[in-house]
Amino acid sequence: MADRQQQGGRRQSGRRYWSKPDRAFTLALLVLTGFGLLMVFSASMYTSSVSSATGSGYAQFIKQAVYVIGGLFVLWFASRIDYRKFNNVHVALVALVITAALLGFVLVAGSEVNGAKRWLAIGSITFQPSEFAKLTGIIYASSIVCQKKEVYSNFWKFTLYCILPMVVLCGLAAIEPSLSAAMAIGFGMLCVYFFSGIKFRYFIPYILLIVAAVGLALILQPFRLDRIRVFMGKGGADYQIRQSILAIGSGGIFGKGLGNGRQKMLFLPELQNDFIFANIGEECGLVGCVLLLILYGFIIYRGIRIAKASKTKFGYVYGCSIMALLGFQVIVNVAVATNIMPVTGMALPFISAGGTSMIILFFMMSLIVNMSRKPGRKVTAGAPKTKRRKRQKTEEKTA
């Protein structure tokens, strides 16, 4: 009797192990993050030395390094959580409500910077709810299309469960105002609906609504019209984009070398944030820019492959949508820095300075990393370590 109880206790204490994550995908993320940290240091060293009370050029670099370390911890921890647990409508709905509440609260009690209320300050820590909305929007949409089958055949159910939450999140982000965040949130959720196979005719009325909303935003906020005039070459406040083009052009093929850029000396504002690609072009040249874009392309390609192999619809639509959103943000940031599209505040993922963005991006990627892990059988806790390791290795080979 005692032997049976002991064996039963061992069986209950057994645990499920996971194989190692996709090494190529994880390594590419680490390389991209390391390069981003290096470029933030290069872009902010002069600004930090001028604005810091101690005159140190490491202030922004140390701050960003802390964010990166926090993001790596999030990646390590969250990648060990089964991504299928997020395929829960109730959990996703709670996260959506909390996100909408934060977006509404920031309009009332947010910290105003350059005429926009986008940050909530808790002591010396600032939090940007619109970045959180990108994640919760995609998780919510992915759960809905997997759990609510009626959205595929009923237009009004699609409107209620899919479009209305998207309009709320995007509308609150646009009021901050942050049209770039609203674009990113809407793009990510629309990608979920596209990859899930919802009929395209359901999208047509809302595409027209989005176009009308963008037009209204241009009318109500004249500074956006000024940006379009600058893009069309009709003058205006074009100083920032001119300096960006100058920086990229002066870098030539191989660049001036790390730390040798000149735009960081207060010529180009927000160089370590939205215009960090200009610093990369100046210091790393065309070769550095192309290699960076190839690295992004590899991460997106590998992430989509992992999503397709996930064997669950939630994993597929979530993974593909996250990779599409990553590509969208890269394209917009590079297009702005090279004057291919009007100026908008879109950060370069894993490169631009920013705490909330870095943490959220790592969490997004952690679910992709978890998808690349293959679950094995439960291993009895009382089994010898050597036998346990042999069993793990054989199951990983056969998986």
Q: In whole angstroms, how far apart are CA 43 and each of 10, 61, 87, 291?
A: 56, 9, 40, 19
For residue 35, how many C-alpha atoms fall within 13 Å in the half-sphere facing its CB?
23
Angle at 394 between CA 391 and CA 396, to 5 degrees: 105
Q: What is the rounded distance in angstroms from the CA atom of residue 280 to the CA atom of residue 287?
A: 10
76-85, 228-237, 251-260, 314-323: which has the minimum mean pLDDT? 228-237
**pTM listed for this prediction:** 0.86
Top pLDDT among 22 and 300 is at: 300
Which residues have C-beta within 8 Å of that of residue 13, sequence separation ≥ 6? 380, 381, 382
Which residues have C-beta within 8 Å of that of residue 103, sequence separation ≥ 6? 129, 130, 133, 169, 172, 173, 176
Q: What is the mean pLDDT of the chain?
A: 83
- Closest by CA to 192, choosing from 257, 147, 238, 240, is 147
Q: What is the rounded distance in angstroms from the CA atom of residue 117 to the CA atom of residue 120?
A: 8
Which residues have C-beta within 8 Å of that of residue 193, sequence separation ≥ 6? 141, 145, 162, 202, 203
Q: What is the rounded distance in angstroms from the CA atom of residue 209 to the CA atom of residue 118?
A: 24
pLDDT tens column, 17-64: 557 888 999 999 999 999 999 999 998 888 877 776 556 678 888 989
Q: What is the rounded distance in angstroms from the CA atom of residue 95 to the CA atom of residue 200?
A: 27
116-120, 176-180, 336-340: which has the minimum mean pLDDT? 116-120
Q: Using DSSP, state whether 121 is helix, strand or coil.
A: strand
Kindly report the number of other CB atoms within 10 A of residue 4's CB atom.
8
Q: What is the rounded distance in angstroms from the CA atom of residue 138 to the CA atom of residue 10?
A: 40
Structure tokens at 214: 């963008």
Q: In whole angstroms, how far apart are CA 269 and each of 131, 275, 343, 376?
A: 22, 8, 13, 51
Q: What is the rounded distance in angstroms from the CA atom of residue 323 to the CA atom of residue 143?
A: 17
Q: Which amino acid, 235?
A: G
pLDDT tens column, 145-174: 999 999 999 999 999 999 999 999 998 988
Q: What is the rounded distance in angstroms from the CA atom of residue 114 to the CA atom of residue 128?
A: 15
* pLDDT exceeds 90 at position 1: no
Place of tokens 């291993």: 379
Dihedrals phi, psi of 176, to nearest 5 degrees: -55, -50
8-22, 98-112, 338-352: which has the minimum mean pLDDT? 8-22
DSSP string, 221-247: -HHHHHHHHHHTT--SS-HHHHHHHHH
* pLDDT exceeds 80 at position 136: yes
- Identify the band that residue 224 occupies on the pLDDT scale cut at 50, 70 and 90: low
Kindly report the number of other CB atoms within 10 A of residue 279's CB atom.
28
The pLDDT of residue 3: 46
